[in-house]
Amino acid sequence: MPTADPSSSWSQRIAAGTAAYEQGRYAEAEPAFTAALAEAEGFGAQDVRLALSANNLAELYRAQGRYKDAEPLFERALLIRQSVQGPEHPQAVASLNNLGALYLAQGRHEEAERIFGQALAIRERTLGPDHPDVAVSLNNLGEVHRTRGQYAEAEARFRRALAIWEKAQGREHSNVALASNNLAAVARAQGRSAEAEPLLRRALAIWETALGPDHPSVALTLINLGDLHRVEGRHAEAEAECRRALSILERRLGADHPDVAAALNNLALVHRDRGEYPAAESLLKRAVAIYDGPSTDRPRDHPRHAQALENLAKVYRAQGKAAEADDAQSRAAIIWLRR
């Protein structure tokens, strides 16, 4: 996340918000970024400090799952930077990339791929093929491919990103953890679980050291590691990892965040695999309720929403609740059809 020169009260607010954000203390970051944006409004409509303020608050909202609030701020930052600094300026491209990341989080994959492709082309042309920012775009495009099931394309993007980051930033940088986590997801999807576990453990160790044991990124890797162990029948390890992840995410992001729903879903699968259907049902109902929530920020047509409904249908069916199973399965089918 961009910072500012340490001079004015605005700069101090940006610095305080950035420090809290990077440590996953989102509740502390929000008032600092909100105050910085309010102050920046007085600098003029085309001031780059206004763009930075809007961008940072949007990044926070995206991390909190508040997508509706984030989008106009990302768009505002992008327009200012493109107008004042030019469309190929690194900050303008960073804003373009951030908007694509928001689209990806919302499940708007075609829009995300288009924007990430633009950012990658500009970065390779202006920064060279081995710049760390090029790796950011490669990683993001890899995520689009992975969510579409295009695993060979995703793996190629992730491996190139990892090589760039290791060379430019060192083997213990948090970006190396990100690429390792994503490569593990691709390896698992292709049935190469033996490759996935060391990648996940590497990501977990780096993030725990760099960000602390209670950072949301640590939790997301724990979810992935727990699901790997569940599939391997290591249910005690899986449950412990999923419960730790759930605890981190509830504390840091709030009980209704989409990432909390993902943790609930994976913990439910541990219970389901052990035949503990009432416990699984309760957790899946809560996950579905998060995706169904009244906020327009919820990614209601996201694949995870459909997957949670499908898992709930299976749990209902295992308990002889045919009507409830049919309803959940029908709702999942509607989501898939709309995508």
The answer to whether residue 145 scores a pLDDT higher than 50 is yes
**Nearest residue to 21 (alpha-carbon basis) of 78, 59, 67, 65:** 59
The answer to whether residue 42 scores a pLDDT higher than 60 is yes
Predicted confidence (pLDDT) per residue in 243-269, tens digit = 999 999 999 989 999 899 999 999 999
Give the rounded percent of residues in the chain with a pLDDT score beyond 70: 95
Distance CA 327, CA 331 (A): 6
Superfamily of domain 9-106: Tetratricopeptide repeat domain (1.25.40.10)
- Please tell me what DSSP assigns to residue 173: S
pLDDT at 178 (0 to 100): 96
Intra-chain end-to-end CA distance of the chain, in Å: 31
Section 147-165 average pLDDT? 96
Q: Which amino acid is at 71?
A: E
Please determine whether the domains at 118-195 and 247-339 fall in the same fold group of CATH.
yes
Phi, psi of 172 (to 5 degrees): -110, 10
CB atoms within 10 A of CB 136: 23
The answer to whether residue 62 scores a pLDDT higher than 90 is yes
The answer to whether residue 111 scores a pLDDT higher than 70 is yes
Decide: 146 and 116 in contact? Cβ < 8 Å: no
Section 60-65 average pLDDT? 90
Section 155-180 average pLDDT? 97
Q: How confident is the model at residue 296 (pLDDT cuts 50, 70, 90)?
A: very low
87 Cβ contact partners less than 8 Å away, ≥ 6 residues apart: 93, 122
Distance CA 100, CA 111 (A): 7
The answer to whether residue 10 scores a pLDDT higher than 80 is yes
The answer to whether residue 205 scores a pLDDT higher than 50 is yes
The answer to whether residue 330 scores a pLDDT higher than 60 is yes
Domain spans, the chain: 9-106, 118-195, 247-339
Q: How confident is the model at residue 186 (pLDDT cuts 50, 70, 90)?
A: very high
Query: Which CATH fold topology does 118-195 show?
Result: 1.25.40
The answer to whether residue 271 scores a pLDDT higher than 80 is yes
**98 CB burial (10 A radius; 0-12, 13-18, 19+):** buried
Decide: 288 and 309 in contact? Cβ < 8 Å: yes
Domain 247-339, second-level architecture:
Alpha Horseshoe (1.25)
pLDDT at 23 (0 to 100): 86
Q: Which of 34-43, 68-77, 154-163, 296-305 has the lowest mean pLDDT?
A: 296-305
Long-range contacts, stretch 205-212, CB < 8 angstroms, 24+ apart? 206/172, 206/173, 206/174, 206/176, 206/177, 206/180, 207/174, 207/177, 209/172, 210/172, 210/173, 210/174, 210/177, 211/22, 211/23, 211/24, 211/174, 212/23, 212/24
